[in-house]
């Protein structure tokens, strides 16, 4: 009985912590969607207060006692304890003073980065970047306890993944993607660009229908506008955001579908796991697999874009593209560009691999911050065949490093790799997938993903989650085969 | 130095508590404006978790130690300590088990009340009401420690006020208000009703301009729609809500102005008090004085309604009322009615006095819950000259008692009394008030209120706050003089 009580006490304590974490997340949502601008400073204090409460709870010494005494009754309880133990170990290994210093420095660093990017002034950012790297290396050393520093950082976002395992996948992907990119851009069969102006209100109405088509549960969420779209929350309150530009409706539509992928994962988790460690997506990579398969493999498929074409004609009138096939090619148009967040399916992973190699070298100490710009520009020229014209199009383009997110980038590409595997398994299991997508109905895909993957939340490790869903261990093969087939056809390679 | 540190430590701890309380308030705002309906149950757990954190902080034994050792350096520090001591004493006097039981019972009671009201079934509500009263009496006994139970409850909302002091004011008000009401309703000079349909979007645009006219700071707030309008938050994030019905634009406009009154108070408090005990309105009564003077004494004045008439003509076209004078009379129309929240300036306080007498008798034990309906209906007939036709128009109309709010009602009427005093002082100090209101400019009033009252937040006790602002101690005289003059003229008595 003593054992039973320890597990129950721990889970009751944890449940309150999860509820407080949801509150913190909702404050973040509010900040990006609703908060009046004059509230920023006060909000900083509010966030700091709730983060203080969460930190105290997550490092509460009673957790160690409960973990010692708790005996899990089943596999679910085992998984709960695994998450709690993992979190507790990570939180307590890092000295409080270091954690505070990282929080302080990175909160200032983001502003310095933003100014440096606006001014295209690399030198103004480098001292701060060096500080951030130094602190994250210290943190990694505390976590790794003799092991690889970068692995310790990656593990926070993608439990079980290592630089070596990711590097092996990326090394196999890179040559095929470089070749595909070059062939696509050299093809004489370039799709037309989308041209024209598309009313914001009509875009938002259509984007709500897209969310519905992909199974977003409006009774447990809502859609708002944000500068950088995101999804937020777990369980029964999972909110999404999008953005609207009249010249670029695809941005609105595919941002929405992407965030619906994240949200569908959270909304799809077994309700029994709500407000427990299992009640959230298991890793950034698995999360990204959901957003990516919704956005790309499904949302940018010939079948679904055929339906979308009809919807756009109906709602916006003729807009210069005359057939579903032409529209499909336009949606999947590959264009040279510097910016990761604007990259298409072919080029996106090349951006990630570059950041992965550079940040690994920065953390290892093989690359000094003053050499980063040159290393970035050399690599960009090698992979993309273009010289970077200014730092805001180069090493200053992403916020991640300024806020200390090292080890995070590779999860984006892992998500694409996982999505490739999931599509292969989904197509084998659901033969009428395309027929249904062509009617604007993604529910067979959402249903399959929910059953095979989403409902399990954090029950299994990330790679095991994908393996169980697909029936095979994930690798880069299905994604590359899919990309070469899809873009080979579009560009008549 | 030891003393100095105790005060600083206490204030640092308190500041985090205030920040967490702001978060809890913002969750409440989210629940009424943004939350998807499916999130209600999860939100309950989230609210419970943050309330648990707040309760633990507010009863933290370190507060007693700090209070023992802290020596205030000035009047501001003295006031801070007074608030903290008061809160700590109240929180620790009530046994935790009782506080939890009250929270549990009242959260269920609200639903039972709502169902009873919908079904006009008094009997279904009485057992629950009896429980709530029993628990609140227990709480009051713990707080009063031998003193008057009802006083202990009132003191939570209106520090320093007692049943006797309020009762004395109300006893003087009642005969004059009963007489005024009877004379107004018997007058042959009845104003016309507002008729027609007023587009919701145009109402919302105009209501935003009304908020601006009364000095609402949009950079530190926002306006949304809620079923029951409210304002929420302190310092730099003070949000307001309103509602829109196309048949009743005055509801939208005057709800907004009312909430702007509350919000202007919060926004107007000295920024140095932000996230401290002084950084909020000092009592419910003083808060209500601000919402009422904005809504009624200013917003329903002849001067301001003259401007509003022009705005409505401009935005909605002709709407059947042809002169500013006729419009002024329509805005201030007195109609028989059962419902407190729909009552005009003449009848509103009569509703409050009735609730005050009834709830005082309930808490004292002089009135049993099974006799409440008869007592309500008798009193309503006596003061309003009308028999209550059904419980939803009678004792079941208000949510307050179901959630345990005994001692709260009188603060609404105290707010009106205070507003009457403030108007008298304001008019003496600002001779061109009406000339400016006639141009849709309430800034002289807002400026005067900010300087004389709002900026001080919780620095002084409620009555002292009003006395300092007015230059005289508040009583019911100015309000009654104002009401008799205003409605005597409108109804040509």
Average pLDDT value over all residues in chain A: 96
Which helix (H) or strand (E) is A315 found in, with range? helix A302-316
A407: left (phi over 0), alpha (psi -120 to 50) or beta: left
Residue A45's closest chain B neighbor by CA?
A: B19
Distance from CA of A397 to the nearest CA of B (A): 29
Length of chain B: 493
Nearest to A49 among B20, B35, B222 (CB): B20
Distance from CA of B290 to the nearest CA of A (A): 23
Residue A44's closest chain B neighbor by CA?
A: B19
All residues of chain A having their beta carbon less than 8 Å from the beta carbon of residue B11 are none
CA-based radius of gyration for chain B: 23
Q: Would you identify the CATH topology of the domain A159-493?
A: 1.10.1370
Question: How big is the A-B interface in CB pairs under 8 Å?
Answer: 104
pLDDT digits (tens, 9 = 90+) for B98-143: 998 998 898 889 999 999 999 999 999 999 999 999 999 999 999 9
What per-residue confidence (pLDDT) applies to B440?
97
Q: Residue A412: pLDDT band by 50, 70, 90 thresholds?
A: very high
Which residue stretches of A158-301 are H helix?
163-186, 200-213, 249-268, 284-292
pLDDT digits (tens, 9 = 90+) for A341-399: 999 999 999 999 999 999 999 999 999 999 999 999 999 999 999 999 999 999 999 99
pLDDT higher for B425 or A4? B425
Which helix (H) or strand (E) is A469 found in, with range? helix A462-470
Among A451, A428, A432, smallest CA distance to A442 is for A432
Q: What is the DSSP secondary structure assignment for residue A492, as one 8-state letter?
A: T
Q: Is the pLDDT of residue B320 over 60?
A: yes
A231 touches chain B (CB under 8 A): no
Q: Residue A107: pLDDT band by 50, 70, 90 thresholds?
A: confident
Cross-strand pairs, A224: A241
Average pLDDT value over all residues in chain B: 96
Is A236 in contact with B26 (Cβ distance < 8 A)?
Answer: no
CB-based contacts of A284: which residues, under 8 Å, 6+ apart?
A157, A158, A408, A411, A412, A415
Length of chain A: 493
Q: What is the DSSP secondary structure assignment for residue B293, as one 8-state letter?
A: I
What per-residue confidence (pLDDT) applies to B28?
94
CA-based radius of gyration for chain A: 23
Determine if residue A139 is labeled as part of a ligand binding site. Answer: no
State the helix-helix crossing angle for A462-470 and A443-452, rounded to 10 degrees. Answer: 120
Is B27 in contact with A30 (Cβ distance < 8 A)?
Answer: no
pLDDT digits (tens, 9 = 90+) for B356-381: 999 999 999 999 999 999 999 999 99
Long-range Cβ contact pairs of A215-220 (< 8 A, separation 24 or more): A215/A260, A215/A264, A215/A442, A215/A443, A215/A446, A215/A447, A215/A450, A216/A240, A216/A260, A216/A263, A216/A264, A216/A267, A217/A267, A217/B38, A218/B36, A219/B36, A219/B37, A219/B38, A220/A267, A220/B36, A220/B38, A220/B39
CB-based contacts of A230: which residues, under 8 Å, 6+ apart?
A32, A240, A241, A259
What per-residue confidence (pLDDT) applies to B482?
98
Which helix (H) or strand (E) is A480 found in, with range? helix A477-490
Q: Is A259 designated active site?
A: yes
A41 touches chain B (CB under 8 A): yes
- The ipTM of this complex is 0.93
Nearest to B39 among A36, A237, A275 (CB): A237
Q: Residue A4: pLDDT band by 50, 70, 90 thresholds?
A: low
Q: Residues of B comprising the binding site for Zn(2+)?
A: 258, 262, 288
Nearest to A22 among B46, B53, B237 (CB): B46
Query: What's the rounded Cα separation, in Å, for the pair B405 and B282?
Result: 18
B56 touches chain A (CB under 8 A): no
Is B42 in contact with A222 (Cβ distance < 8 A)?
Answer: no
Among A238, A229, A323, smallest CA distance to A279 is for A238
Q: What is the DSSP secondary structure assignment for residue B242, as one 8-state letter?
A: E
Nearest to A36 among B41, B45, B221 (CB): B221
B222 touches chain A (CB under 8 A): yes
CB-based contacts of B342: which residues, under 8 Å, 6+ apart?
none
Q: Give yes or no for a contact between B94 and B142, defined as CB atoms under 8 angstroms apart.
A: yes
Indicate if the alpha-carbon torsion angle B427, B432, B434, B436 is positive or negative. Answer: negative
Q: Give yes or no for a contact between B491 and B483, defined as CB atoms under 8 angstroms apart.
A: no
Sorted by where each begins, the domain ranges of chain A are 2-157, 159-493
Q: Give yes or no for a contact between A380 and A397, defined as CB atoms under 8 angstroms apart.
A: no
Quote the longest CA-to-CA distance of chain B.
74
Which helix (H) or strand (E) is A223 found in, with range? strand A223-225
Domain B120-493 -> CATH class: mainly alpha
Query: What's the rounded Cα separation, in Å, for the pair B209 and A176?
Result: 60
Query: Could you tell me the end-to-end alpha-carbon distance of chain B, in angstroms, rounded to an integer?
Result: 68
Surface-to-core class of residue B328, CB atoms within 10 Å of its CB (0-12 exposed, 13-18 middle, 19+ buried): buried
Portion 161-220 of B in contact with A at CB < 8 A? 217-220
Q: Give yes or no for a contact between A67 and A85, defined as CB atoms under 8 angstroms apart.
A: yes
What per-residue confidence (pLDDT) applies to B1?
45
B36 touches chain A (CB under 8 A): yes
Distance from CA of B50 to the nearest CA of A (A): 7
pLDDT digits (tens, 9 = 90+) for A210-254: 999 999 999 999 999 999 999 999 999 999 999 999 999 999 999
Among B233, A26, B214, A23, smallest CA distance to B222 is for B233
Q: Give yes or no for a contact between A25 and A232, defined as CB atoms under 8 angstroms apart.
A: yes
pLDDT digits (tens, 9 = 90+) for B69-90: 999 999 999 999 999 999 999 9
pLDDT digits (tens, 9 = 90+) for A14-72: 999 999 999 999 999 999 999 999 999 999 999 999 999 999 999 999 999 999 999 99
Is B41 in contact with A236 (Cβ distance < 8 A)?
Answer: yes
Indicate if the alpha-carbon torsion angle B326, B327, B328, B330 is positive or negative. Answer: positive
Query: What's the rounded Cα separation, in Å, for the pair A25 and A3?
Result: 33
Q: Is the pLDDT of residue A3 over 60?
A: no
pLDDT digits (tens, 9 = 90+) for A413-424: 999 999 999 999
Query: What's the rounded Cα separation, in Å, for the pair A170 and B209?
Result: 57
Among A415, A200, A193, smallest CA distance to A294 is for A415
Which residue stretches of B187-323 are H helix?
200-213, 249-268, 284-292, 302-316
Helix (H, G, I), strand (E, B) or coil at A282: coil
Query: What's the rounded Cα separation, in Å, for the pair B404 and A112?
Result: 51
Q: What percentage of chain B has pLDDT greater than the value 90?
A: 97
């Amino acid at each position: 009985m003593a054992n039973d009580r320890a597990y129950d006490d721990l889970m009751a304590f944890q449940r309150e912590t999860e509820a407080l974490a949801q509150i913190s997340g909702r404050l973040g949502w509010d900040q990006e969607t609703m908060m009046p601008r004059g509230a920023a400073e006060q909000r900083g204090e509010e966030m700091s207060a709730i983060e203080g409460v969460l930190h105290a709870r997550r490092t509460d010494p009673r957790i160690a006692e409960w973990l010692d005494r708790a005996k899990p009754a089943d596999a679910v309880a085992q998984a709960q304890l695994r998450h709690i133990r993992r979190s507790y170990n990570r939180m307590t290994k890092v000295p409080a003073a270091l954690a505070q210093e990282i929080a302080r420095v990175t909160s200032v660093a983001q502003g310095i980065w933003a100014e440096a990017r606006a001014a295209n002034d690399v030198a103004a950012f480098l001292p701060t970047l060096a500080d951030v790297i130094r602190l994250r290396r210290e943190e990694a050393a505390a976590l790794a306890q003799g092991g690889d520093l970068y692995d310790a950082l990656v593990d926070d976002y993608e439990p079980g993944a290592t630089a070596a395992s990711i590097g092996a996948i990326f090394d196999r992907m890179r040559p095929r993607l470089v070749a595909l990119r070059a062939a696509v851009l050299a093809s004489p069969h370039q799709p037309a660009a989308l041209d024209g102006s598309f009313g914001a209100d009509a875009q938002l109405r259509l984007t709500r229908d897209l969310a519905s088509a992909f199974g977003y549960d409006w009774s447990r969420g809502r859609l708002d506008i944000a500068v950088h779209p995101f999804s937020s929350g777990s369980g029964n309150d999972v909110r999404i955001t999008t953005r609207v530009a009249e010249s670029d409706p695809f941005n609105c539509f595919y941002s929405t579908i992407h965030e619906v992928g994240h949200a569908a994962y959270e909304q799809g988790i077994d309700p029994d796991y709500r407000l427990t460690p299992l009640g959230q997506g298991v890793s950034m990579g698995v999360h990204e697999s959901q957003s990516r398969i919704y956005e790309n493999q499904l949302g940018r498929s010939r079948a679904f874009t055929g339906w979308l074409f009809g919807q756009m004609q109906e709602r916006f009138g003729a807009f210069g593209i005359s057939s579903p096939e032409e529209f499909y090619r336009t949606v999947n148009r590959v264009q040279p560009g510097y910016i990761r967040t604007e990259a298409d399916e072919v080029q996106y992973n090349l951006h990630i691999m570059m950041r992965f190699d550079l940040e690994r070298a920065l953390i290892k100490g093989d690359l000094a911050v003053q050499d980063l710009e040159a290393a970035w520009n050399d690599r960009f020229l090698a992979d993309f065949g273009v010289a970077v014209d200014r730092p805001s199009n180069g090493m200053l383009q992403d916020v991640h490093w300024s806020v200390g997110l090292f080890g995070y980038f590779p999860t984006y590409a892992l998500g694409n790799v996982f999505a490739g595997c999931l599509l292969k398994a989904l197509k084998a299991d659901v033969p009428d997938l395309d027929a249904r997508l062509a009617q604007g109905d993604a529910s067979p895909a959402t249903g399959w993903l929910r059953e095979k993957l989403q409902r399990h939340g954090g029950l299994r490790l990330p790679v095991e989650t994908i393996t169980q869903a697909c029936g095979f261990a994930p690798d880069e093969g299905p994604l590359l085969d899919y990309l070469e087939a899809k873009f080979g056809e579009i560009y008549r390679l």
